[in-house]
Amino acid sequence: MTGLPNEENAIQPLRRQSANLGVLGYGNVGKGVVKILLDPEGRDPSLARINLVRLGVRDIKRPRPNVSPEILTDNLESIVNHPDIDIIIEVMGGIEPARTLIIQAIENGKHIITANKTLIANHGIEIFALAAKKGVSVKFEPAVGGGIPIIEVLNSGMGANRLEGITGIVNGTCNYIFTRMAELGLSYDKALEEATELGYAEANPDADVSGRDSAEKLAILVKEGFGLNVDPQVLTDSGFVKGITSISPRDIQCAKELDYTIKLLATSAIQRDDTLLFAVRPHFVSNRHPLATVNNNLNAIYIKGDKVGELLLSGKGAGGDETASAVVADVINTIKSISSGVAAISAPSPAESTEFVTLSSEIKSKFYLRILTGDIPIAFGGIMWLLGKVNIVPEYVQQHITPDGLLEIVMITQPVSSQMLKDGLRSIRALPHCKEVANSLPLLEVS
């Protein structure tokens, strides 16, 4: 990839001193972007070189204060085909028509900024390949972590390091739900209701609480951090993505008593054999770990590099203004890199990345287990015997009788692979007196 660009992949220059923008979508994020553009004083001087030329919406009749009617349109194709527009900002969401519009814009030589994690996680390869061919840049800082500039850090700040792992709390809705359950002892349903009332959760929260949203964001982080293409759907289908709906107030209480906090973590780590561990699932996070302090609707990404050590970036992972901060930063960086004549291609070309990753099921971790059995004399001994048979050694065990007369066993195991754990729990479930394996969650300890 050295030498001068040829005619096809030459970086598309700005055609004038200023950059003309077309924005697809004027919702929470689009409004935040326009607010920043209308108030450039004291921000990066490049903002003075930006003209907003067109703004695309679905419902043209809805009143839009602050927007001059001449730039508003419901014909989004006219924006991506507009000869005077240099940069397209896609903040409309969804796969279609966003994908087709972006493809058309790239074909027309326009640089792209998108906040659309679903689109980048699932169609990134196609989009980046075309962008590389056409010599335009595609930036997507706002797609992960809202206002947290994590993509820039992974792209530009970590180059000297061999990355060991990226672990994130990347879904503010789930983090808010767990925080409220821990603070007030709320049920999952009540905490979700509160998150919905406050606008943190969508009317249909399925993508958030199922872990799918976190998986898409982790796929983007893995691509940026490790240069590996991960299909989030394949991982979801393979059972590596688990949501938060199984967490009960009793699990939250057990975590507290044992000095842990439950968090939905998106984890990735390179193993010694070069396989990638990728998982989204609730964890017991040690209260001494920096991620345990990330509460409410905040996001955080924790990175480990062999030279820099541990980094934690934390901030608001959603919100119109916060996400617009990342969108406009991408606009400024696009303008600067074009002006300096440096190719602004922001993603690895498909040839540089692998098409698949191997998931390691051998990675070992301590686990929290909560098991409910009939209160009979042999119950406890039977469970311990079965665990011993598959080499699962308890490090901490507590048992008590529940108000409805069951024996509850709460345990922290010594490190065990998820396969060994699966085998052990299968045998326990088959015991005639076992009522339920109420939960099993991996632990994140301080390294």
Ligand X SMILES: NC(=O)c1ccc[n+]([C@@H]2O[C@H](COP(=O)([O-])OP(=O)(O)OC[C@H]3O[C@@H](n4cnc5c(N)ncnc54)[C@H](OP(=O)(O)O)[C@@H]3O)[C@@H](O)[C@H]2O)c1
Output the CA torsion sign for 368, 373, 379, 382: negative
Q: How far is the CB of 290 from ligand X (least distance, A)?
A: 23
Looking at the Cβ atoms of 285 and 331, the one nearer to ligand X is 331
Contacts of 441 (CB under 8 A, 6+ apart): 251, 262, 281, 282, 283, 284, 367, 368
Stretch that binds ligand X, among 55-63, 223-231, 263-271, 272-280 (CB under 6 A): 55-63
Beta carbon nearer to ligand X, 282 or 319: 319
154 binds ligand X (CB under 6 A): no
Residue nearest to ligand X (CB): 27
Kindly state the smallest distance separating residue 94's Cβ from ligand X, in Å.
6
Q: Which of 12, 20, 52, 56 binds ligand X (CB under 6 A)?
A: 56
- β-strands 87-90, 111-114: how paired? parallel
Please, which residue, 92 or 158, has the CB nearer to ligand X?
92
Over the window 10 to 49, marking each residue x when it contacts ligand X by CB under 6 A and - when it does not, the resulting string is ---------------xxxxxx-------------------
258-to-14, 187, 188, 368, 396 alpha-carbon distances in Å: 58, 20, 20, 10, 10
Q: How far is the CB of 27 from ligand X (least distance, A)?
A: 2
Q: In whole angstroms, what is the distance from residue 252 CA to residue 238 CA?
A: 27
Smallest distance, ligand X to C-beta of residue 208, A:
11
- Cα separation, 164 vs 274, in Å, equals 10
d(C-alpha 294, C-alpha 97), whole Å = 35
Burial group, residue 433, by CB count within 10 angstroms (0-12, 13-18, 19+): middle
Assess 318 for contact with ligand X (CB under 6 A). yes
147 touching ligand X, by CB under 6 A: no
The 67-86 site mask, x for binding ligand X (CB under 6 A), equals ---------x----------
Interaction residues for ligand X, span 102-141 (CB under 6 A) = 115-116
Please state, in angstroms and as integers, the Cα–Cα distance from residue 439 to each residue in 187, 249, 261, 358, 408, following that order: 16, 12, 15, 27, 12
Q: Which positions are annotated as active-site residues?
A: 217
Task: Report whether 414 contacts 393 (CB < 8 A).
Answer: yes
Q: Which of 11, 18, 67, 93 binds ligand X (CB under 6 A)?
A: 93
Task: Select from 36, 92, 357, 416 the one that contacts ligand X (CB under 6 A).
Answer: 92
Specify whether the CB–CB gap between 48 and 116 falls below 8 A. no
- Taking alpha carbons only, the member of 39, 60, 64 closest to residue 50 is 39
By CB under 6 A, residue 329 contacts ligand X: no
CB nearer to ligand X: pick between 31 and 256: 31
Q: How many residues bind ligand X (CB under 6 A)?
A: 24
Binding segment toward ligand X, per CB under 6 A, in 88-96, 158-166, 342-350, 436-444: 88-96
Beta pairing class for 394-401 and 298-305:
unpaired
Q: How far is the CB of 51 from ligand X (least distance, A)?
A: 20
Residue pair 322/201 in contact by the 8 Å Cβ criterion: no
Site stretch for ligand X (CB under 6 A), options 87-95, 281-289, 414-422, 439-447: 87-95
- Among 8, 59, 273, 274, indicate the residue that binds ligand X (CB under 6 A): 59
User: For residue 120, what are the contacts with CB-CB under 8 A and spacing of at least 6?
Assistant: 114, 127, 140, 143, 220
Rounded to the nearest whole angstrom, what is the least distance from the CB of residue 21 to ligand X in the complex? 15
CB of 161 to ligand X, least distance (A): 27
CB of 293 to ligand X, least distance (A): 22
By C-beta, is 27 or 185 nearer to ligand X? 27
- Alpha-carbon distance of 71 to 79, in angstroms, equals 10
Count of beta carbons in the 10 Å neighbourhood of residue 438: 17
* Interacting residue ranges for ligand X, rule: CB under 6 A: 25-30, 56-59, 62, 76, 91-93, 97, 115-116, 142, 146, 318-320, 323
